[in-house]
Amino acid sequence: GSWTILQLVEALGFCLENTDPRTRGRGIQLLSQVLLECHSLLQEKEVLHLVLFYENRLQDHHLLIPSVLQGLRALSLCEVLAPGLAVSVLKAIFQEVHVQSLLQQDRYTVYSIITNFMATREEELKGLGADFTFGFIQVMDGEKDPRNLMVAFQIVHDLIVKNYALGPFVEELFEVTSCYFPIDFTPPPNDPHGIQREDLILSLRAVLASTPQFAEFLLPLLIEKMDSDLQSAKLDSLQTLTACCAIYGQKELQEFLPSLWSSLRREVFQTASEKVEAECLSALHALSACLSRSVLSSDAEDRLDSFLSSILQDCRHHLCEPDMKLVWPSAKLLQAAASASLRSYHRLTHSILPLLLEQYNKHSQSSQRRTILEMLLGFLELQQKWGHVEEDESALLSLQETVCSVVFSALTDPSVQLQLVGIRALTVLGSLQGFLSPSDLELVVDHLVRLALHEEDSQSSEAAMEAAGSLAPVYPKVFSGRMVPRLGEELQSGRTDSLAKGLISGIGRCLQALAAVSTHTSIVRETVPVLLQHLRNVQKGNTAEVVSVCQSLHRVALQCQQDAEGCWYYHQTVVPCLLAMAVQASSHPLVSKVLLEEEVLTAMVPVISAATTHLSPELAAQSVSHVVPLFLDGEVSFLPQNSFPCSFQPFEDGECLEPQRRLVALLMAFVCSLPHNVVIPQQERLLRELLALSCSCSCPFTATTASKCFAGLVNKHPAGQQLDEILQLAVNRMEPGLTEGPHRTQALILLLWVTKALVLRYHPLSSHLTDKLLGLLSDVELGPIAADGFSLLMAESPDVLHKGCHADVRIMFRQRFFTDNVPKLVEGFHGAGADVKANYLKSLSHVLNHLPKPVLVTELPTLLSLLLEALSCSDRVVQLSTLSCLQPLLLEAPQIMSLHIDTLVTKFLSLASSPAMAVRIAALRCAHALTSLPTIVLLPYKARVIRALAKPLDDKKRLVRKEAVAARGEWFLVGSPGR
């Protein structure tokens, strides 16, 4: 049956009225447990009676108190609690219970009761006035358990932010919380409660920084702790000060400003810790910001001004000593204060900028000038933060001429390091709207062109190009009108000179500069025709020149991608032009065939791909309606200069059409980069043509690109009957091709790419094709290629089948492939003949090498013996792949790897003298990683390893020697104290 709560109380009457306190305690415990389960079902009248009963029990024997508190916690959760009862309960607890004499769990119960009432009965508790605050202070005073402190700190925080009356108890409330500052707590090992030191620090900081009323007590405490020898205490004090500044005003801070500044200055001038320095600078920034926010009455003293004056007084003179150690700490302090507000920035820069400019002209050494200019740059970057330069207040505008002359002089200095700082300063000045005059801007462009093209040091040249790219969108007319023509002229004259001298470095820089400055659509419209014209000029030249132009075009394409107008202009200008030049080269017997070389076509692919990936679906559809008919039907009408000597038919038979077939690489770059929702005209026919070409073409480059193009289209093809038919057709073509005939390798390449396309999208046929690949590992001729193919399946492909070109790539496909196929690989290895075992090891090594390391660690025990066997394989690819796989595992799974220490040491030391440099480097890195294993495991091998690592110290390759030094040094430290 069902009972009411009052019936239960009556039934428990014998227990509740028993003279034995233990019996009474058990009765109340049972009642409290029932209430915790069903408090939401109680009636208001029942709650009233129960509250009165429990309050009365608080005066009972101390053994009963824990159960009574549990009952009151249940009642504090009741929504039907009558007005006034919450206050009554808390008064009773404050009066009758000495909370800190209770056990941790019971104290936690008291905090829970208070928290519940504060959440639901706020107005009633506020009616208690300061008595509630005083009562809680008594409850919390002396608390030591971190679990309870987390709740207690939250209650104090709510008391303050929800405006409970603190009355005369502000200092008491501060004392009862600040006694824990700074927090010194180390959680016990395997702590189930998960409370970290950082949790307590943040909770206490939220309390201390919650009210300006604490300021007079807190600030002296923070100043005292800043002087502590403990770094943790310093950091906590500084972070708390920064938090307090968010709510303090001038009134709270003014008395303590000299002491605070003194402590901050001392720490920055003397500390060896970057963390402490960073927190000091943050605190100074916060103090200056706080003083800047304070609204002043007409007769009040401006504390910001006096505070900044003291900073200037203590730091200014150090800026005149660019070689001394206090120059940078002083500059950082000034910049931290200046960054707080526009007022503080103007106040400090009026004094500092003229001084720095004077010092720059006073010192003649490049190193000193560089230090001064870097400090000046710090202040210029702060001006960037405030945006537009205001004429009436800015010290910068009044010094415009001097600042520009200093920066320009740095650009012409022989010191590369000074030039680099000058270029950074130039970029900042250019970003300040209205600062540079038209004549200055022309000078800026001239300097950037000079540095980009004629400066011997590549660092300065690259920095100048980067600066041009940053400033070009701000001043597009100046750069397109002055810089681009200059670069075009240099390109033309450079080509003439290079033909005479056999040099192309100047041309390379010109091309890089043209690409770098193409960061605005109006400039792209100027640079792209220059680059394309240069490509037409050099297509009869050498391969390196053509590849260089393609690399510049690719960079421009990447910079255009986020701008729809620029992207479409680039696409419709560059793609038809490249196709026309390539078609011309493939069709005309007298035209140079440089454009048909594999290296050049490979360089063109990313240009066309980058020009296509970010097109809108409508524009992409417009473009695809021209490009696909070009390849399928020879429709050349959309190409510029489209009078070709013979028709373009790359998919027709005939040996004379072999050059045209190579251009399938460009078709692949285009169609495999289209967005998902773009319909490709005649797609089924295109797929059939690609399939035929990939299986029958004798040119490996053409066959591979056709396979990749086919795979890229299949990956995005919508599921359904059409896809099933084309895949069945592909399987029917591949299977006979793999069995016999002259095109076995081509059939295998096609199988690999189609498998990858289907694995990425979790297509059901992928498992059948993967099994086919696994079967080929035992083939003497195709086995090694199939084994290397597993790397292709798992790795990121650069040109097709990656997310950047909108391929369908499912999450965790590698983990799924691993789960499905590694057991088959292991089984195949054990059953294989000695002549093909290496193929299985190579496949396994490739799969594991591309697997996310956390997944690999969990599977390590079962696979480690095979990986160790792979190290004995003579194939260098297997060795390198396995070593790359083992190195992170030594760091992440030292316990498992320790079990095989003897084998690992022997194999690594043996491979450290491999003929292949890459294998030697990888083996030495693994020998280095061994030192992360437990010391007790390593000590027996220490002498042997140190002896063996002496040999690679004399290796003829510098990179090998470098790794040997690092590994041997770490082995020397094995077993040393403090390691």
pLDDT of residue 770: 93
125 vs 590, residue with greater confidence: 125
Task: Please compute the mean of the pLDDT values over residues 932-945 and round it to a whole number.
Answer: 92
What is the Cβ-side half-sphere exposure of residue 137, based on CA atoms within 13 angstroms?
Answer: 18
Which amino acid type is present at position 252? E
Mean pLDDT, the chain, integer: 88
* Sequence spans of domains, the chain: 1-82, 103-210, 690-851, 878-978
Q: Which residue, among 950, 869, 883, has the nearest Cα to 918 in the 3D structure?
A: 883
Q: What is the pLDDT at residue 394?
A: 61
- Interval 118-133: pLDDT, tens: 999 999 999 989 999 9
H runs (alpha helix) in 13-103:
13-16, 21-38, 44-57, 65-76, 85-96
Which three-class secondary structure string do you get for 410-467?
HHCCCCHHHHHHHHHHHHHHHHCCCCCCHHHHHHHHHHHHHHHHHCCCHHHHHHHHHH
Task: Report percent pLDDT > 70 for the chain.
Answer: 96
Task: State the alpha helices, DSSP H only, in 127-214.
Answer: 130-140, 146-161, 170-178, 197-208
Residue 878: band (very low, low, confident or very high) from pLDDT cuts 50, 70, 90: confident
Tell me the pLDDT band of 395, cut-offs 50, 70 and 90: low
Report pLDDT for 36. 85
375-390 pLDDT, tens digit each: 999 998 888 777 655 5
Is residue 892 predicted with pLDDT exceeding 90?
Answer: no
Mean pLDDT on 803-826 = 90
Predicted confidence (pLDDT) per residue in 181-194, tens digit = 988 888 877 777 77
The pLDDT, as a whole number, for residue 496 is 46
Q: Is residue 152 within 8 Å of 111, Cβ to Cβ? A: yes
- Round to whole Å and give the CA distance between 881 and 914: 14
Residue-wise DSSP of 704-760? HHHHHHHHHHHHHSPSSHHHHHHHHHHHHHHHHHHHSSTTHHHHHHHHHHHHHHHHH
Could you tell me the sign of the dihedral formed by the alpha carbons of 29, 30, 31, 37, in that order? positive
Q: What is the pLDDT of residues 836-863, one digit of tens each?
A: 888 888 888 888 888 888 888 888 788 8
Integer-rounded Cα radius of gyration of the chain? 38
The pLDDT of residue 629 is above 50: yes
CB atoms under 10 Å from CB of 543, counted, come to 15
Q: How buried is 621 (Cβ within 10 angstroms: 0-12 exposed, 13-18 middle, 19+ buried)?
A: middle
pLDDT category at 260 given cuts 50, 70, 90 is: very high
Whether the per-residue pLDDT at 337 is higher than 60: the answer is yes
pTM for the whole thing? Answer: 0.79
Instruction: Return the percentage of the chain with pLDDT > 90, whole number.
Output: 56
Measured over the CA atoms of residue 446, residue 452, residue 458 and residue 462, the dihedral's sign is positive
The two counts, helices (H) then strands (E), for the chain are 52, 0
Range from 34-48, 407-421, 466-480 carrying the lowest mean pLDDT? 34-48
pLDDT tens-digit profile of 685-742? 999 999 999 988 888 899 999 999 999 999 999 999 999 999 999 999 888 888 877 7
**Band of residue 161 on the pLDDT scale cut at 50, 70, 90:** very high
Task: Give the burial class of 502: count Cβ atoms within 10 A of its Cβ; 0-12 exposed, 13-18 middle, 19 or more buried.
Answer: exposed
Q: Answer yes or no: is pLDDT of 49 > 90.
A: no
pLDDT at residue 979 in the model: 60
pLDDT band at 203 (very low <50, low <70, confident <90, very high): very high
Cβ pair 926, 886 in contact under 8 A: yes
Higher pLDDT, residue 520 or 646 = 520
What whole-number distance in Å separates Cα of residue 488 and Cα of residue 494? 10
pLDDT in tens, 211-236: 999 999 999 999 999 988 888 999 99
> What pLDDT sits at residue 498?
44
Q: Measuring CA to CA, which residue among 786, 853, 784, 788 is closest to residue 818? A: 853
The set of residues, in sequence order, having a beta carbon less than 8 Å from that of 501 and lying 6+ positions away, is none
- The amino acid present at 805, given as its one-letter code, is C
d(CA 549, CA 543): 10
Structure confidence at residue 301 (pLDDT): 67
Q: Is 503 left (phi over 0), alpha (psi -120 to 50) or beta?
A: beta
Separation of alpha carbons 582 and 574, rounded Å = 12
How far apart CA 316 and CA 355 sit, in angstroms, is: 9
Task: Looking at mean pLDDT, say which of 78-87, 235-244, 271-280, 577-586 comes out highest.
Answer: 235-244
> In whole angstroms, what is the distance from residue 99 CA to residue 676 CA?
67
What DSSP designation does 211 have?
A: -
Q: How high is the pLDDT of residue 590?
A: 65
pLDDT in tens, 503-534: 446 788 899 999 999 999 999 999 999 999 99
Q: What is the pLDDT of residue 149?
A: 93
Q: What share of the chain is helix, strand, coil (3-state, %, to 5)?
A: 75, 0, 25
CA atoms lying within 13 Å on the CB side of residue 684 = 8
Contact, 685 vs 671, CB < 8 A?
no
pLDDT, greater one: 831 or 174:
174
pLDDT value of residue 761: 92
pLDDT category of residue 502 using cuts at 50, 70 and 90: very low
Residue-level pLDDT at 830: 84
Q: Is the pLDDT of residue 363 over 70?
A: yes
Residue 567 confidence (pLDDT): 92
Angle between helices 65-76 and 104-120 in degrees, nearest 10 = 20
**What stretch of H or E contains 168?**
none
